[in-house]
Amino acid sequence: MNNERWYQDLSVRNANRDYTGIISAISENYLNVPSHLQYVHIHYSLAMAYIAQGNPLAGISNLKIILNQIEKLTLDSNGEFFVSKIQMQLELLEGFFNNVLLFWENKHLDAATKIRDYAAQTGDQVLSTAAEIVMNQWHRVDTAEGACFVPRSPNMLQIEPTNICNMRCTMCPREKMKRTMGFMDIDLFRNIFNGWSSKYLTLPLEHLVFGGTINAIRRGAIKFFFMGEPLLHDSFSEMIEIVKKEGCTIVLQTNGLLLNDEFICENLLKAKPNVIGISIDGMSESSYEKVRRGSSYQMILNNVKNLYCARESLGLSKDINIFISTIVADHSEDAYNKAEVFLKPMAQFADRILYISLTRNREPVFFNSEGKMELMKSMQNSVNEEVFFCKEPLGKLNVLWNGDITPCCYDIDGVLKLGHSTDGIDRIWTGQQTVKLHNAILNNDSSEFPLCRECKNTL
């Protein structure tokens, strides 16, 4: 095998960490090989290049391609052993990148335990370390229904740079908010990352073809969003840069109104958030302007277009995704069709359209299926409560502009305070109040959490 041209080519690229070159070379030159073992080695090398490059989904997909073809391949005992190691690495990767917030049967934890035991018997230290990392990601909670698992550290932080806004949207509960308004201090923001272990995690994997170790990286997620417009913060671009330096991914959700300011737009793009989400609701120009009070349809259309064109001119289409999120009053086909028609002029300037269900808990004013504005009454939850099982507080925390930590976005006034960011994110997550909340959710008992009970009992 070592004398094969593909091996010589790819091993040099791997030694130089030229993972993009490996992906290109394999895709262009080496996918069609006569040997079944070569097929396995090359697809495996492609998978590991994607993982090392920071694209774990593509890496996992290529490992699955190998295993899905295994019945069609003729391999000797060495080849079969090689594939068995791939299977173990795949199971660890799926456990490492699993974003399911909880499950009653943790198959990834079970697999990691077996792999750790195997590694102990064979003396495979890299495999043992990887298995331990996956096992230590989860905390067991015993409930009336059995054991379930939540992350030992939150996967995501939703951060509110400010609770001041430049719009008065009819469906937003902001006008009912009683909190003091202000902007997050930049030093307070920096401090958030000091006590958060999930901000950047690595999983070491032995490269089974070229030797050495490849690190799979899982990045914590930050979202700038809550009761204000993030672009109003004078230091929003510096905050994005801090997030990137900490190794996290960053989504900034904006109403898009300030994107007509060239200085703001330029600074936003230069900071390179992973996603810029723009909230646009309506099924016509008039309904948009009635819901999004303080904006105009033509302005927002131009702003989205200019943002897209500026991104393309700077060559940042691979670095920044532009999403449009839109609220629909119901899940009917008619509602989606009308929203799609309304968004068509600007859909060409976005990478993705996200449809979000209207939250009726606080009885917002919104447009109905005919486009007319009306008060959307909340409805009593009359179906099985399991449908409304709340997973949000089991994987994320909310950070208000003053540093107060709350469990979810329903708590607009910070009533259910779990701590302060200076206490440390992990310390808050494993603290008495948060653990008590997690146990209450998992045992479907909101008796001591009126805010949760209020949210759960209405739609």
pLDDT digits (tens, 9 = 90+) for 226-285: 999 999 999 999 999 999 999 999 999 999 999 999 999 999 999 999 999 999 988 888
Our CA angle for 79, 82, 88, nearest 5°, is 145
If pLDDT is split at 50, 70 and 90, which confidence band does 449 have?
A: confident
The pLDDT tens digits for 124-156 are 999 999 999 999 988 888 777 777 888 899 999
Bridge partners of 252, per DSSP, are 224, 276
Work out the number of other CB atoms within 10 angstroms of the CB of residue 402: 17
Reported as a single tens digit per residue, the pLDDT across 56-75 is 999 999 999 989 888 777 88
Contact 158, 397 (CB under 8 A): yes
pLDDT higher than threshold 70 for residue 367 = no
Pairing between β-strand 275-279 and β-strand 321-328 as defined by DSSP bridges: parallel
Find the mean pLDDT for residues 373-379.
Answer: 62
On the question of pLDDT at 382 being above 50, the answer is no
- Mean pLDDT, all residues of the chain: 88
Question: pLDDT grade, residue 425 (50/70/90)?
Answer: very high
What band does 384 get if pLDDT is binned at 50, 70 and 90? very low
Q: What is the DSSP string of 278-328?
A: EE---SSHHHHHHHSTT--HHHHHHHHHHHHHHHHHTT-TTT-EEEEEEEE
269: how many CB neighbours lie within 10 A of its CB?
A: 19
pLDDT band at 102 (very low <50, low <70, confident <90, very high): low
pLDDT at residue 377 tops 80? no
Q: What is the CA radius of gyration of the chain?
A: 25
- Give the per-residue pLDDT at 331: 72
pTM of the predicted protein model = 0.89
State mean pLDDT over 195-201.
94
CA distance 169 to 359: 13
Count, residues in the chain: 459
Q: Please say whether the dihedral angle defined by the alpha carbons of residues 254, 255, 258 and 262, taken in this order, is positive or negative.
A: positive
Mean predicted confidence (pLDDT) in 382-406: 78
Q: Whole-angstrom Cα distance, residue 457 to residue 380? A: 6
Distance CA 345, CA 283 (A): 12
**Banded model confidence at residue 77, pLDDT cuts 50, 70, 90:** confident
> In which band, very low, low, confident or very high, does the pLDDT at 388 lie, cut at 50, 70 and 90?
very low
C-alpha dihedral, 375 to 378 to 379 to 383, nearest 10°: 140
What pLDDT, on a 0 to 100 scale, did the predictor assign at position 441? 87
- Read off the pLDDT of each residue in 356-377 and give the average, rounded to a whole number: 65
pLDDT of 445 higher than 90: no
What is the pLDDT at residue 309?
A: 96
What pLDDT was estimated at residue 456?
Answer: 60
Query: SS3 string of 245-272?
Result: HCCCEEEEEECCHHHHCHHHHHHHHHHC
